[in-house]
A and B are shown apart, each in its own frame.
Chain A
């Protein structure tokens, strides 16, 4: 008995150790980023650990650099880029919800010719490398006048957000018995009210999880805004790159920009955390 509880304790300690190791491993880049963002420029490349925290970098990217040398791009436009990211990521998710929820429902409920092909096509949008389509897209966007517009960006970000929503929600809808809808039909409800009152509450965990992930993917998207956007639609991911130039590399400002741009994702993730685990594992486990 004693032996057993001893080995139990050993297993517990070991599993804790592994978790802690992973925790450090996963958190290290974030801590490192935070540290760099708080360092003055001369402390960035030292062989010893020197750390005199300063908020200069944050001040520089948010309010402009008073000491900026001529020729160095003033980066006080960062708040605007942040807003751009917010508009594009939110807009993409909203558009994806508008089209993805009905699409997922249709793919789950109705039998029609080419259904699986269509579903697979949606999925392929997700796993096809962005670099494959980016050149033709850039040509198209210039011809159509979508280049460097919000609508153009939101449209192209559907490649990132829409497949995710459709595939997660589809398995949710498939798990809901059609009997429930038919019962509500007999009860005398129009389809949209059944959908709103009965189905939507049932898929909400999946909806929240998928929408959050879609938001994060859209926010993190780099290639699309880099190639298809310009000064009007610069996002934080592209803007952060702007701190590195041939003349001077502001790694500390880049880190500060990265810290600020990770805030919305962290806030969102924490606020719907309880949906996240249940939401994604539920749809994923069933074959």
Chain B
């Protein structure tokens, strides 16, 4: 177990595509961190650089005190659970798990003990004699985890580990991942595009986009205090609404004025001050769909009002989703069932 430290990491591919730009990130010893972002954001390149399957163009990477830039994958003592599981088809489950131990000339009794230990931990002791082709998706996933954990890695990485499982198995494995992390206390990095996974499992979330790290923090931080519009729009489901407007100073307060006069909203003082100092001509007001409410007639005291035209309403079973238009902008509202 060790801390993972990325310092000014760059990845530039042949042809000049910059997949990762100036990435600084520290994953504390024993921490469970999720690397979250849309596809093409650089999270997989980052993962592959950590594991050593991809060279680091610039910057320094440390595992504990060791500079690992130039180390081969197996010398880094990291483990990766692949999205496709990547089990070795010709080998039985037992051999799959023992494969990495065999490479290191560990005595057979020790191999046996360690394989049985992870097999018990992951509840796969009963399928050790089978071939990967005879396993279901969930079982494959467990075997791939066992194979990664048996080597006792300093850093444990998972690449979209749940994407090939059905909903029930997913919920199951999420619990399993948390339990494993609590049990082993290993430094763990989860790479995913699914914020639900990230939120459910990780202690901290690192949000990436266009090869740049946008924000690192707990869910509470990235949800309530996003550093930029991308994080605000990416975190939260359904995504945040953005209403463009012109900031106007009025009696010392800042008021956001829609171009066509469809709404006028007085901004909270802190936000208003920020907008004033930025001297922006046009700003986007972000409001989460869960913070909007549908009302008729006069607004309640202390609430702000925006007039909107309803476009559609979807009944999602437990809640409703109302799509509306405020001038030219689409706005989504999460409502109780009608």
Residues of A near any B CB (own CB < 8 A): 177, 179-180, 182-189, 197-198, 201-202
Contacts and interface: CB of A to CB of B under 8 A. Distances in A.
Interface stretch (B58-66, B86-94, B251-259, B286-294): B86-94
A177 B86 contact: yes
Given A186-B74, A186-B79, A202 B51 contact: no
Interface stretch (B98-106, B231-239, B268-276, B322-330): B98-106
B99 A184 contact: yes
A186 B52 CA distance: 8
A184 B80 contact: no
Contacts of A198: 88-91
B73 interface: yes
Contacts of B73: 182, 185-186, 188
Nearest to B153: A186
Given A182-B73, A182-B80, A185-B74, 15 more contacts: A179-B83, A179-B86, A183-B88, A183-B147, A184-B99, A186-B52, A186-B74, A186-B78, A186-B100, A189-B74, A197-B90, A198-B88, A198-B89, A198-B90, A202-B89
Nearest to B73: A186
B307 interface: no
B88 A188 contact: no
Interface string B176-220: 000000000000000000000000000000000000000000000
Contacts of B147: 183, 187
Given A185-B53, A186-B52, A187-B74, A180 B103 contact: no
B156 to A, nearest CB: 12
7 contacts: A180-B87, A183-B147, A185-B73, A186-B51, A186-B53, A188-B73, A197-B90
Contacts of B83: 179
Contacts of A184: 88, 99
A183 B103 contact: no
B82 interface: yes
B53 A180 contact: no
B66 to A, nearest CB: 16
A187 B100 contact: yes
A274 to B, nearest CB: 17
A-B pairs, 4 with minimum CB distance: A188-B74, A179-B86, A187-B100, A201-B90
Nearest to B151: A187
B24 interface: no
Contact of B82 (A183, A197, A201, A202): A183
Interface size grouping (class) on chain B: 20 to 34
Interface of B: 51-53, 72-74, 78-80, 82-84, 86-91, 99-100, 103-104, 147, 151
Contacts of B74: 185-189
A182 B88 CA distance: 11
A180 B72 CA distance: 17
Nearest to A185: B73
B104 A188 contact: yes
A183 B86 contact: yes
B164 to A, nearest CB: 12
A179 B83 CA distance: 9
A198 B86 CA distance: 11
Nearest to B75: A188
A247 B187 CA distance: 88
Contacts of A197: 88, 90-91
Contacts of A179: 82-84, 86
B80 A183 contact: yes
A201 B82 CA distance: 21
A177 B1 CA distance: 30
Contacts of B80: 182-183, 186
Nearest to B99: A187
B101 to A, nearest CB: 9
Contacts of B87: 180, 183
Contacts of B151: 187
A188 B103 contact: yes
Nearest to B48: A182
Contacts of A189: 74, 99, 103
A180 B82 CA distance: 9
Contact of B84 (A177, A185, A188): A177
A179 B161 CA distance: 14
A182 B90 contact: no
A201 B53 CA distance: 24
